[in-house]
Amino acid sequence: MISIHTPIKFNDDLPDEVDVVIIGGGVNGVFAALNMSRKGLKVVVLEKGRIAGEQSSRNWGWIRQHGRDPAELPIMMEASQLWESFDKEVKGRTGFTRQGVMYLSQTESAQEQCEAWIQTANDHGLNTIAVSKDKLSKHLQRDSSKQDFWYGGVYTSSDARAEPWQAVPAVAELAHSEGVIIREDCAVRELDIQAGQITGVVTEAGNIKASQVVLTGGAWSSLFLRKHGISIPQLSVRASVARTAPMAEVAINNTADEGLAYRRRNDGGYTLALTDFEEHFIGPDSFRLLSKWLKTGFQSRHELKLMLSQIKDSPDAWNTQRKWQSNEISPFEKMRVLDPTPPVKKIKVMQQRFAERFPQIGEPKILNAWAGMIDAMPDMLPIVDRAPSLEGLIVATGMSGHGFGIGPAFGRIVSQIACNEKSEHDLKRFRFSRFNDGSRLDIGPSI
C-alpha cells in the first residue's frame, strides 16, 4: 500500500511560475498533467502526501465500462483504450489486463435489473451480454454443490483491470520524464486571487504564479473550495478492501454480486470487497448538505452505515479546521495521507462470503486489508468543469468510486478545458451548476 511511510519519489523544486497548477496527485491529476504537458503547457502537480496515496491506490482496480451512467459510458470507453495505450508506454507497469467484468445475480428480479443495462450498452456499441445459469461455468470455477448460488449474470468481455498501487505512480513517472514538475509532501494552503482572477497558489513551501489551477483533490476538494467561498455537495464514505494470499483461480474476470466483489490480482491472489456495505462518518457537512443527499441516502439506506465516531483530522471531522491563514499550517498538512482503518469484522465477512461461493477453497487467507475515503456527489457523478464564480479554476472531483477506471479520459478532458478546446464528449451531466440550477436529481449507478 501507498501510505505516509512510502518514501518520497518526487521532490522537484517549486517553479516561480507555470501555466497550470494541479492540486492533487491522484489518477485524474496525473493524467491531466501528462496531457497538458503534451500540449505544450508548463505544469506542476502538487500533492500534500504521496502520488496516488489515497483513493487512487485503494480502489478495486477495475477498469469498468459495464454499468456506467449513459453520460459516462462514452468517456469510459475511451478511457479503457487509453489505459491499454499508456500501459504500453510504461512497459506494462500498470498491470493492465483485459479479462472482462461479470455482474452476477442471485434472483430472477436482480437478473432482470442487470439485463436492463444491456440496452445502454447496445446503444453505445459495447459488447455486453446476458449469461444464463448453465453458461456461468465458462467464467467461474465452482463446486458442484453451489451451482445454484447464482441465477445468472451479465458480462462485458472488453472490460479490464490494473494494479492501482503501481498504475498511477508509473504514469506519474512517465509524466515526470516528459517535463511535468511533481512535488510530494507539499500542500497547497490556498489560492492566490486578485480581482476575482486566480494568479497562483500559496503552498507550504512558497508561492507559485499561474493563471489556471486544476483541483483534483478527491475527498479534500470540498474543504479546500469552502476556504474560497465555493460550495459543492460532496460527502465521503469509507470503503474497505482486502488482499488474499495466492490461490487457485476461481474467476479470471472482475466479478461482483449482491454481496461480494473479487478481482484476480497479478500476484495470484484476489482483491475482495463488499458490495453492500459502506460507512459515512457524520460531520458538519452531513447536516449542511442533508437536503441535497436525502434522495440518494434513502436509495442507499440498506448499504450505508452512519457512523457517529470520527476519523481524526479527516476532511469533515468535527475537529478539522475550516478557516486558516496562508501562513498557518493547514488541514492538508495535518493529514498528509488519509489512511482509515478498515473494520475487522467486515474483513471476516468477506472471507465468509467467499467461502460460501467457493466452498472448495473455503475462507481465503487475508494478507492485508485497507480502507479509503470515496468522495461522492448526490447523483453519483463527478464535477468536471470550470468553477463559474472564479476565473481560472477548473474542478474535477466527486468521482463517486468510478474515478480510477475513467481517469485517463477525464484527464484528457481537463487538459482540453484548460486549453479552451471543445470536447467531443457531451459534458453537460458533469457541469458545476447542476446542483443549484433547479435541475432534477437523476441518480446514476453507484458501482
Provide the pLDDT for residue 434: 96
State the total domains in the chain.
1
Host domain of residue 348: 20-435
Q: What is the mean pLDDT of residues 307-321?
A: 96
Is 5 part of a structural domain of the chain? no
Q: Higher confidence at residue 439 or residue 413?
A: 413
Yes or no: say if 265 and 286 are a contact pair by the CB < 8 Å rule.
no
As given in the structure block, the three cell numbers for residue 260 are: 461480494
First to last CA, the chain: 23
Average pLDDT over residues 40-50: 98
Q: Is the pTM of this model over 0.85?
A: yes
Question: Is the pLDDT at 220 greater than 60, yes or no?
Answer: yes
Residue 143's pLDDT band, with cuts at 50, 70 and 90, is low
- pLDDT greater than 50 at residue 66: yes
CA distance 204 to 48: 9
Of 236, 310, 300, 244, residue with least CA distance to 271: 244
Q: Which residue, 400, 340, 406, 375, is CA-closest to 218?
A: 375
In terms of Cα–Cα distance, which of 207, 187, 157, 174 is closest to 89?
174
Q: Any idea which of 189-193, 234-238, 420-424, 436-440 has the lowest mean pLDDT?
A: 436-440
Tens digit of each residue's pLDDT (9 = 90 or more) over 3-37: 999 999 999 999 999 999 999 999 999 999 999 99
Lowest mean pLDDT among 116-120, 133-137, 274-278, 382-386: 133-137
Instruction: State the pLDDT confidence band at 145, using cuts at 50, 70 and 90.
Output: very low
Instruction: Output the pLDDT for position 39.
Output: 98
Q: Is residue 3 part of a domain?
A: no
Task: Give the whole-angstrom CA distance, residue 163 versus residue 83.
Answer: 12
7: in domain: no
8 within some domain: no
What would the pLDDT profile of 367-381 be if each residue is shown by its tens digit?
A: 999 999 999 999 999
Burial status of residue 385 (CB atoms within 10 A of its CB: 0-12, 13-18, 19 or more) = buried
Instruction: Give 259-294 pLDDT, tens digit per residue.
Output: 999 999 999 999 999 999 999 999 999 999 999 999
88-125 pLDDT tens trace: 999 999 999 999 999 999 999 999 999 999 999 999 99
Q: Does some domain include residue 212?
A: yes
Distance between CA atoms of 20 and 29, rounded to whole angstroms? 11
Residue 109 belongs to some domain of the structure: yes
In a domain, 6, yes or no: no
Q: Do β-strands 270-274 and 260-264 pair in parallel, antiparallel, or remain unpaired?
A: antiparallel
Least confident of 115-129, 134-148, 217-231, 393-407: 134-148
Distance of CA 371 to the CA centre of its chain: 13
Dump pLDDT digits (tens) for 324-337: 999 999 999 999 99
Q: Are 172 and 112 in contact (CB under 8 A)?
A: no
pLDDT at 140: 85
Instruction: Please check the confidence at residue 148 and state whether its pLDDT lies above 90.
Output: no
Confidence check: pLDDT of 396 > 80 = yes
Nearest residue to 357 via CA among 268, 258, 253: 258
Quick check: is 14 in a domain? Answer: no
CA atoms of 416 and 427, how far apart (whole Å) = 12
Q: What is the pLDDT of residue 319?
A: 96
Mean residue pLDDT across the chain: 96
Whichever domain contains 242, its CATH number is: 3.50.50.60
Q: CA angle 328-331-334, nearest 5°?
A: 95
